[in-house]
Structure 1
Amino acid sequence: MAVHKLILDDVFEEALYTLIAIHCRLEDYRLAYLLNKNLGVTLSRKPSDIDYKNGQGSYSIFEWEDHKQLVTWSLVSNICKIEEELHQTDFTSLFDNQQKVTKTFQLLPEHKTVNYFLKIDSEFSFSKEKYILDSILKIPQIATAYSIDSSELKSKENLIFN
Protein backbone atom coordinates (compact mmCIF):
# COMPACT_ATOMS: atom_id res chain seq x y z
CA MET A 1 0.00 0.00 0.00
CA ALA A 2 1.33 3.44 -0.92
CA VAL A 3 1.81 6.04 1.80
CA HIS A 4 0.85 9.62 0.95
CA LYS A 5 2.51 12.45 2.81
CA LEU A 6 1.13 15.99 2.79
CA ILE A 7 3.53 18.90 3.24
CA LEU A 8 1.80 22.05 4.49
CA ASP A 9 4.76 24.42 4.73
CA ASP A 10 3.36 27.02 2.34
CA VAL A 11 -0.23 26.82 3.58
CA PHE A 12 0.32 28.29 7.04
CA GLU A 13 2.25 31.46 6.41
CA GLU A 14 2.98 33.67 9.35
CA ALA A 15 0.97 36.88 9.52
CA LEU A 16 2.90 39.95 8.44
CA TYR A 17 2.84 42.90 10.79
CA THR A 18 5.00 45.71 12.06
CA LEU A 19 5.44 45.91 15.83
CA ILE A 20 6.64 49.09 17.54
CA ALA A 21 7.44 49.25 21.25
CA ILE A 22 6.65 52.55 23.00
CA HIS A 23 8.07 53.66 26.35
CA CYS A 24 6.15 56.50 28.03
CA ARG A 25 4.28 57.35 31.23
CA LEU A 26 1.09 58.53 29.52
CA GLU A 27 -2.36 57.12 30.07
CA ASP A 28 -3.60 54.97 27.19
CA TYR A 29 -6.24 57.44 25.97
CA ARG A 30 -3.72 60.31 25.99
CA LEU A 31 -1.19 58.30 23.96
CA ALA A 32 -3.90 57.32 21.46
CA TYR A 33 -4.83 60.99 21.06
CA LEU A 34 -1.20 62.01 20.44
CA LEU A 35 -0.68 59.19 17.92
CA ASN A 36 -3.89 60.18 16.12
CA LYS A 37 -2.70 63.78 15.96
CA ASN A 38 0.87 63.04 14.80
CA LEU A 39 0.37 60.02 12.54
CA GLY A 40 -2.94 60.97 10.92
CA VAL A 41 -4.70 57.85 12.18
CA THR A 42 -8.02 57.48 14.01
CA LEU A 43 -7.40 55.06 16.87
CA SER A 44 -10.46 54.52 19.05
CA ARG A 45 -11.02 52.41 22.16
CA LYS A 46 -12.55 49.01 21.58
CA PRO A 47 -15.64 48.21 23.68
CA SER A 48 -13.89 45.38 25.52
CA ASP A 49 -10.31 44.99 26.71
CA ILE A 50 -8.09 42.03 25.91
CA ASP A 51 -8.49 39.42 28.65
CA TYR A 52 -5.83 36.72 29.01
CA LYS A 53 -5.52 33.70 31.29
CA ASN A 54 -9.04 33.79 32.78
CA GLY A 55 -9.01 37.35 34.05
CA GLN A 56 -5.42 37.31 35.22
CA GLY A 57 -4.67 40.30 33.03
CA SER A 58 -6.75 42.84 31.18
CA TYR A 59 -5.10 45.08 28.59
CA SER A 60 -6.64 48.15 26.97
CA ILE A 61 -6.73 48.23 23.18
CA PHE A 62 -7.32 51.01 20.66
CA GLU A 63 -7.89 50.09 17.03
CA TRP A 64 -8.33 51.70 13.61
CA GLU A 65 -9.06 49.98 10.32
CA ASP A 66 -7.73 51.88 7.32
CA HIS A 67 -10.08 50.71 4.57
CA LYS A 68 -8.19 52.57 1.82
CA GLN A 69 -4.89 50.76 2.40
CA LEU A 70 -6.43 47.63 4.02
CA VAL A 71 -4.33 48.05 7.16
CA THR A 72 -5.37 47.60 10.80
CA TRP A 73 -3.59 49.65 13.48
CA SER A 74 -3.75 48.46 17.10
CA LEU A 75 -2.41 50.22 20.19
CA VAL A 76 -2.34 47.85 23.15
CA SER A 77 -1.00 48.27 26.67
CA ASN A 78 1.68 45.85 27.79
CA ILE A 79 1.35 46.27 31.55
CA CYS A 80 -1.58 45.23 33.71
CA LYS A 81 -1.58 45.87 37.46
CA ILE A 82 -4.03 44.05 39.70
CA GLU A 83 -4.42 44.85 43.38
CA GLU A 84 -5.28 41.93 45.64
CA GLU A 85 -5.85 41.71 49.35
CA LEU A 86 -3.52 39.36 51.16
CA HIS A 87 -5.07 37.88 54.28
CA GLN A 88 -2.59 36.83 56.93
CA THR A 89 -3.66 35.89 60.39
CA ASP A 90 -1.04 36.29 63.07
CA PHE A 91 -2.09 34.29 66.12
CA THR A 92 0.23 36.23 68.41
CA SER A 93 -1.66 39.51 67.96
CA LEU A 94 -5.23 40.58 68.50
CA PHE A 95 -5.67 42.04 65.03
CA ASP A 96 -5.80 40.58 61.55
CA ASN A 97 -3.20 41.83 59.14
CA GLN A 98 -4.73 42.80 55.81
CA GLN A 99 -2.25 43.92 53.23
CA LYS A 100 -2.83 44.90 49.63
CA VAL A 101 -0.44 43.44 47.13
CA THR A 102 -0.09 44.77 43.59
CA LYS A 103 0.70 42.13 41.00
CA THR A 104 2.03 43.14 37.59
CA PHE A 105 1.47 41.13 34.41
CA GLN A 106 2.79 41.78 30.90
CA LEU A 107 1.18 41.00 27.56
CA LEU A 108 4.63 40.13 26.18
CA PRO A 109 6.71 39.00 29.18
CA GLU A 110 9.97 39.12 27.22
CA HIS A 111 9.56 42.92 27.00
CA LYS A 112 8.77 43.83 30.62
CA THR A 113 9.76 47.50 30.40
CA VAL A 114 7.65 48.39 27.35
CA ASN A 115 4.48 50.33 28.20
CA TYR A 116 2.60 50.04 24.88
CA PHE A 117 2.81 48.22 21.57
CA LEU A 118 1.68 49.62 18.24
CA LYS A 119 0.87 46.71 15.95
CA ILE A 120 0.28 47.50 12.29
CA ASP A 121 -1.14 44.53 10.37
CA SER A 122 0.92 45.07 7.27
CA GLU A 123 4.60 44.84 6.55
CA PHE A 124 5.81 48.26 5.50
CA SER A 125 8.93 49.08 3.60
CA PHE A 126 11.90 50.17 5.68
CA SER A 127 11.42 53.83 4.74
CA LYS A 128 7.72 53.85 5.72
CA GLU A 129 8.48 52.13 9.05
CA LYS A 130 11.27 54.64 9.72
CA TYR A 131 8.89 57.52 8.93
CA ILE A 132 6.35 56.15 11.45
CA LEU A 133 9.05 55.71 14.10
CA ASP A 134 10.41 59.22 13.52
CA SER A 135 6.90 60.66 13.82
CA ILE A 136 6.37 58.82 17.12
CA LEU A 137 9.74 59.94 18.49
CA LYS A 138 8.86 63.59 17.75
CA ILE A 139 6.14 63.42 20.43
CA PRO A 140 7.80 64.99 23.51
CA GLN A 141 5.93 62.81 26.05
CA ILE A 142 7.36 59.59 24.57
CA ALA A 143 10.69 58.52 26.05
CA THR A 144 11.62 56.13 23.24
CA ALA A 145 10.15 53.89 20.56
CA TYR A 146 11.68 51.16 18.43
CA SER A 147 10.75 48.30 16.12
CA ILE A 148 10.64 44.72 17.37
CA ASP A 149 11.38 41.73 15.16
CA SER A 150 8.24 39.60 15.47
CA SER A 151 10.09 36.41 14.48
CA GLU A 152 12.07 36.54 17.74
CA LEU A 153 9.02 36.80 20.04
CA LYS A 154 8.29 33.85 22.30
CA SER A 155 4.70 34.83 23.13
CA LYS A 156 3.54 36.10 19.72
CA GLU A 157 0.19 34.33 20.17
CA ASN A 158 -0.71 37.13 22.63
CA LEU A 159 -0.69 39.54 19.69
CA ILE A 160 -3.69 37.87 18.03
CA PHE A 161 -6.52 40.24 18.91
CA ASN A 162 -9.41 38.99 16.75
Structure 2
Amino acid sequence: MALHKLQVDDFYDDAYKLIAIHSRLEDYRLAYLLNKHLDLKLERKDTDIDFKYLESSYSIFEWNNKTEYVLWNLISNVCKREADSLSSTGTLFDRPEKILKTFNLITEYKKVDFFLKISDEIENVNEKLVLSKIQAIPQIITSYAVDPLQIKSKDHLIF
Protein backbone atom coordinates (compact mmCIF):
# COMPACT_ATOMS: atom_id res chain seq x y z
CA MET A 1 0.00 0.00 0.00
CA ALA A 2 1.33 3.44 -0.93
CA LEU A 3 1.89 5.93 1.86
CA HIS A 4 1.21 9.60 1.10
CA LYS A 5 2.70 12.35 3.19
CA LEU A 6 1.46 15.94 3.19
CA GLN A 7 3.56 18.87 4.29
CA VAL A 8 1.58 21.53 6.15
CA ASP A 9 3.95 24.29 4.96
CA ASP A 10 2.82 23.69 1.38
CA PHE A 11 -0.64 25.07 2.09
CA TYR A 12 0.41 28.46 3.39
CA ASP A 13 1.56 30.61 0.49
CA ASP A 14 0.67 34.14 1.49
CA ALA A 15 2.59 36.67 -0.56
CA TYR A 16 3.56 39.69 1.49
CA LYS A 17 6.35 42.20 1.77
CA LEU A 18 8.04 42.83 5.09
CA ILE A 19 9.87 46.02 6.04
CA ALA A 20 11.91 46.32 9.23
CA ILE A 21 11.83 49.72 10.92
CA HIS A 22 14.30 50.98 13.53
CA SER A 23 12.85 53.86 15.53
CA ARG A 24 12.57 54.85 19.18
CA LEU A 25 9.12 56.36 18.66
CA GLU A 26 6.02 55.14 20.42
CA ASP A 27 3.82 52.91 18.29
CA TYR A 28 0.99 55.43 17.91
CA ARG A 29 3.42 58.17 16.86
CA LEU A 30 5.04 55.95 14.23
CA ALA A 31 1.61 54.98 12.90
CA TYR A 32 0.72 58.66 12.64
CA LEU A 33 3.91 59.45 10.70
CA LEU A 34 3.41 56.50 8.34
CA ASN A 35 -0.18 57.60 7.75
CA LYS A 36 1.01 61.10 6.96
CA HIS A 37 3.94 60.24 4.68
CA LEU A 38 2.55 57.14 2.93
CA ASP A 39 -1.10 58.25 2.73
CA LEU A 40 -2.24 55.31 4.84
CA LYS A 41 -5.06 54.99 7.36
CA LEU A 42 -3.53 52.71 9.96
CA GLU A 43 -5.68 52.25 13.06
CA ARG A 44 -4.90 50.41 16.28
CA LYS A 45 -6.68 47.08 16.55
CA ASP A 46 -8.77 46.39 19.63
CA THR A 47 -6.68 43.40 20.68
CA ASP A 48 -2.92 43.03 20.66
CA ILE A 49 -0.99 39.98 19.51
CA ASP A 50 -0.44 37.80 22.59
CA PHE A 51 2.09 34.98 22.85
CA LYS A 52 3.04 32.41 25.44
CA TYR A 53 -0.09 32.71 27.58
CA LEU A 54 -0.03 36.51 27.82
CA GLU A 55 3.66 36.60 28.70
CA SER A 56 4.21 39.10 25.91
CA SER A 57 1.88 41.23 23.81
CA TYR A 58 2.61 43.30 20.74
CA SER A 59 0.64 46.25 19.43
CA ILE A 60 -0.75 46.04 15.92
CA PHE A 61 -2.12 48.71 13.60
CA GLU A 62 -4.05 47.75 10.48
CA TRP A 63 -5.57 49.26 7.37
CA ASN A 64 -7.37 47.23 4.75
CA ASN A 65 -7.27 49.19 1.49
CA LYS A 66 -10.13 47.48 -0.31
CA THR A 67 -9.83 49.59 -3.47
CA GLU A 68 -6.26 48.39 -4.15
CA TYR A 69 -6.59 44.98 -2.43
CA VAL A 70 -3.75 45.73 0.01
CA LEU A 71 -3.67 44.96 3.73
CA TRP A 72 -1.19 47.07 5.72
CA ASN A 73 -0.05 46.01 9.22
CA LEU A 74 2.32 47.81 11.55
CA ILE A 75 3.49 45.40 14.24
CA SER A 76 5.65 46.13 17.25
CA ASN A 77 8.58 43.74 17.59
CA VAL A 78 9.46 44.64 21.17
CA CYS A 79 7.52 43.98 24.37
CA LYS A 80 8.90 45.16 27.71
CA ARG A 81 7.36 43.87 30.92
CA GLU A 82 8.17 44.39 34.56
CA ALA A 83 8.70 41.25 36.60
CA ASP A 84 9.74 40.48 40.14
CA SER A 85 13.39 39.60 40.47
CA LEU A 86 14.47 36.53 42.32
CA SER A 87 16.00 37.36 45.67
CA SER A 88 16.93 35.30 48.65
CA THR A 89 15.06 35.66 51.90
CA GLY A 90 16.61 37.47 54.81
CA THR A 91 18.12 40.25 52.76
CA LEU A 92 18.77 43.69 54.14
CA PHE A 93 16.04 45.22 52.01
CA ASP A 94 12.71 43.40 52.23
CA ARG A 95 11.17 45.10 49.22
CA PRO A 96 11.22 42.92 46.05
CA GLU A 97 13.07 44.46 43.14
CA LYS A 98 11.49 44.83 39.72
CA ILE A 99 13.39 43.97 36.57
CA LEU A 100 12.50 44.84 32.99
CA LYS A 101 12.22 41.82 30.68
CA THR A 102 12.33 42.29 26.93
CA PHE A 103 10.58 39.93 24.49
CA ASN A 104 10.71 39.97 20.69
CA LEU A 105 8.04 38.85 18.24
CA ILE A 106 10.63 37.87 15.63
CA THR A 107 13.63 36.64 17.60
CA GLU A 108 16.02 36.72 14.63
CA TYR A 109 15.66 40.50 14.47
CA LYS A 110 16.06 41.60 18.08
CA LYS A 111 17.26 45.10 17.17
CA VAL A 112 14.21 45.85 14.98
CA ASP A 113 11.54 47.93 16.70
CA PHE A 114 8.65 47.53 14.22
CA PHE A 115 7.68 45.56 11.15
CA LEU A 116 5.49 46.84 8.32
CA LYS A 117 3.74 43.93 6.67
CA ILE A 118 2.22 44.63 3.26
CA SER A 119 -0.09 41.89 1.99
CA ASP A 120 -0.98 42.69 -1.59
CA GLU A 121 -2.85 40.19 -3.70
CA ILE A 122 -2.06 41.68 -7.09
CA GLU A 123 1.40 43.03 -6.15
CA ASN A 124 0.80 46.66 -7.04
CA VAL A 125 2.81 48.13 -4.14
CA ASN A 126 6.25 49.40 -5.09
CA GLU A 127 8.45 48.29 -2.20
CA LYS A 128 11.37 50.55 -3.15
CA LEU A 129 9.11 53.61 -3.24
CA VAL A 130 7.65 52.72 0.17
CA LEU A 131 11.16 52.25 1.59
CA SER A 132 12.35 55.60 0.25
CA LYS A 133 9.32 57.38 1.75
CA ILE A 134 9.88 55.69 5.12
CA GLN A 135 13.58 56.58 5.11
CA ALA A 136 12.68 60.20 4.40
CA ILE A 137 10.92 60.46 7.77
CA PRO A 138 13.44 62.15 10.10
CA GLN A 139 12.34 60.28 13.25
CA ILE A 140 13.10 56.87 11.72
CA ILE A 141 16.67 55.66 12.14
CA THR A 142 16.64 53.16 9.28
CA SER A 143 14.38 50.76 7.41
CA TYR A 144 15.04 47.89 5.05
CA ALA A 145 13.29 45.01 3.32
CA VAL A 146 13.30 41.58 4.97
CA ASP A 147 12.76 38.31 3.13
CA PRO A 148 9.89 36.56 4.97
CA LEU A 149 11.03 33.15 3.73
CA GLN A 150 14.32 33.50 5.62
CA ILE A 151 12.62 34.03 8.99
CA LYS A 152 12.34 30.94 11.19
CA SER A 153 9.51 32.35 13.30
CA LYS A 154 7.40 33.56 10.35
CA ASP A 155 4.37 31.86 11.91
CA HIS A 156 4.21 34.79 14.35
CA LEU A 157 3.29 37.03 11.40
CA ILE A 158 0.12 35.07 10.64
CA PHE A 159 -2.86 36.83 12.19
Asked if these proteins are the same fold (TM beyond 0.5), I'd say yes
Distance in 2 between residues matched to 1:24 and 1:92, nearest whole Å: 40
1:40-96 CA distance string (max 9 Å, x none): 110000011110110111100000000011111000100000001225244364x42
1:9 to partner: Cα distance: 9.1
Letter aligned with residue 38 of structure 1: H
Larger CA deviation: 48-57 vs 9-18: 9-18
Confirm whether residue 71 of structure 1 aligns to residue 76 of structure 2. Answer: no
1:110 paired with 2:103, answer no
Indicate if the aligned counterparts of 1:87 and 1:97 stay in contact, CA closer than 8 A. no
> Which runs of no fewer than 5 residues in structure 2 stay unpaired?
none
Give the Cα separation in 2 of the matches to 1:152 and 1:102.
30
Amino acid at match of 2:59: S
Unmatched tracts of structure 1, length 5 or more = none
Report what 1:83 is aligned to.
Answer: 82
CA separation of 1:11 and 1:142: change in aligned 2, threshold 3 A: closer
Q: 2:148 aligns with which of 142, 147, 150?
A: 150
Q: Does 1:101 align with 2:99?
A: yes
Aligned-CA RMSD value: 2.3
1:118 partner amino acid: L
Match of 2:58 in 1: 59
Alpha carbons of 1:13 and 1:61: their partners in 2 closer, same or farther (altered >3 Å)? Answer: closer
**Corresponding residue for 1:140?**
138
Sequence identity percentage? 49
Which residue does the alignment assign to 1:121? 119
Residues of 2 paired with 1:138 and 1:120: CA distance? Answer: 19
Aligned length: 158
* Structure-1-length-normalised TM-score: 0.88
TM-score normalised to structure 2 length = 0.90
Which amino acid counterpart does residue 67 of structure 2 have in structure 1?
K
